[in-house]
Structure formats: structure tokens, C-alpha cells
Amino acid sequence: MNYWPEFLTIVVAHALAVASPGPDFALVLRQSLAHGRRTAVWSSIGIGCGLSFHIAYCILGLGFFLKNSPVALATVQYLGAVYLAWVGVQALRTKVRTGDVDLAAVTAPGDRAAWTTGFVVNLLNPKVALFFIALFALAVSATTPKLIQVGYGLWMTLATMTWFSFVSFVFTQENVRRRFLQSGHWIDRALGVVFIAFAVSLVFAKLK
């Protein structure tokens, strides 16, 4: 059987989804500007790992349970909202920096903390869960071997990590970061408002 048409459908659908603005993009943007390339890349890897978790339960057939379990879906929904709100509050608390900025002296979270933040933001986003549930239900045939589906998942995971790592490289150019760190506390706070807005929209979203 020729699986290329199925694979290309997945590639296009995933590319459109991953490139659209959302909590993942906002997180990588903030990590890039506030903490630097290493932190942003580790968060990008965490996002990809969170995405691979969604893909895994879809391949195993557990996505049907999540979609049809109001309690499970609501739990993910509200946990995700709380976590995004917490990230937003941390951004709002950004302090004003004065004088020249030494980029090497800027304190950044550890690799594990950066990875965890990306992983949790993606994992607790029920809209991501529903996207992959719908994608596998509509685009992947029931007769497609599990090994082929794992290949689809591997592609989407690596593509996600690559895309957000690219975003990290774009926004961690030295001149961009220096300008941000000198007078960018308002941008950081604005991103905090964005995270809180995502949290509020998630609370009131009708996912069913």
C-alpha cells in the first residue's frame, strides 16, 4: 500500500498547526528573549516530547477514551489553564533592568527546568490533544500498520523540535536580545498577559 498521500496530509496539517500562534510559540519567544538560546532550545525539545506523548496515546487507541471522558478532558483543561496562568504571572513579575546588559551574566533556568516547562505547557494543552485525536481519526487509516504510524509520529516530533529551535535561533540574535533586555520588560509583561489570556480562554473553551 502507498502511504505517501496519508503522510503528506499529516505533514501539511501538522505544519499549519505548529506554525500557528499559541502557548508553545509564546513560551519559546519568551525563553529566547529573556533567557537565551540554550534555554529556548531545551524548551523546544520539551515541547516536542510533550507532543510525542499525545501522539503515543493516539497510536495506542487511548485518544478515544480522552475525547469521550468529560472528567479526564476537564482535568487536563483546568490543569493546563492553571499552569499557563502561573507562567504568565512569572512573566508579569519581570523586573526593570537598568544600565548596560551583560548577556553572559543573565540568569537562566537549568536545562531540566527549561525542558520541563516546554513539556508541561504542551502536555497540558487539551487543544493539542484534540488536534492529534482528530488527525489520527481522519487522516490515518485503521489499516495503517502501527510501525508506519510511529514513523508519522517521529516525523511530527522532530519537525516540531526543529521548528521551535529555529524560532529560538531567530530571536536569540545578540542585538535582538540586548535591546530586549535593556527595555523589554514591557514585552515580557505583555507576554505574561498573553499567557494569562490563553489560560482564561482555555477555562471557557468548549472542547466537546
Q: Structure pTM?
A: 0.87
Query: Cell match 482555555: residue?
Result: 202
> Is 62 a domain residue?
yes
Query: Cell match 482535568: residue?
Result: 75
Q: pLDDT value at position 123?
A: 95
Q: Where are the alpha helices (DSSP H) in the chain?
A: 4-19, 23-35, 37-59, 63-67, 70-92, 111-123, 126-139, 146-171, 174-183, 185-204
Q: Are 58 and 130 in contact (CB under 8 A)?
A: no
> Is 143 a domain residue?
yes
Tens of pLDDT along 115-174? 999 999 999 999 999 999 999 988 999 899 999 999 999 999 999 999 999 999 998 887
**For residues 177-190, average pLDDT:** 70
> Is 184 a domain residue?
yes
Q: What are the angstrom distances between the C-alpha of 37 and each of 15, 64, 87, 130, 135?
A: 23, 38, 19, 30, 32
> Is 1 a domain residue?
no
> Is 15 a domain residue?
no
User: What number of CA atoms fall less than 13 Å from residue 171's CA on the CB side?
Assistant: 23
Q: pLDDT value at position 152?
A: 96
* Residue 29 CA, distance from chain mean position: 11
Q: What are the angstrom distances between the C-alpha of 63 and each of 69, 86, 92, 142, 180?
A: 10, 27, 35, 14, 41
From the number of C-beta atoms within 10 Å of its C-beta (0-12, 13-18, 19+), residue 178 rates as middle
> Is 164 a domain residue?
yes
Tens of pLDDT along 192-208? 888 899 899 888 887 75
- pLDDT at position 103 over 60: no
Between 184 and 192, the higher pLDDT residue: 192
> Is 17 a domain residue?
no
Q: pLDDT value at position 121?
A: 96
Query: Cell match 533592568: residue?
Result: 97
Q: Which three cell numbers stand for residue 196?
A: 494569562
Q: pLDDT value at position 164?
A: 96
Q: pLDDT value at position 59?
A: 93
Q: pLDDT value at position 168?
A: 94
Between 184 and 46, the higher pLDDT residue: 46
Residues with Cβ within 8 Å of residue 208, at least 6 apart in sequence: 70, 73
Report how many domains make up the chain: 1
Q: What are the angstrom distances between the C-alpha of 50 and each of 30, 47, 94, 128?
A: 18, 5, 27, 10
Tens of pLDDT along 39-86? 999 999 999 999 999 999 999 988 877 878 888 888 988 999 999 999
Structural domain range at position 128: 23-94+113-204
Q: pLDDT value at position 208?
A: 58
Q: What are the angstrom distances between the C-alpha of 106 and each of 72, 120, 193?
A: 40, 24, 23
> Is 105 a domain residue?
no
**For residues 97-111, average pLDDT:** 62
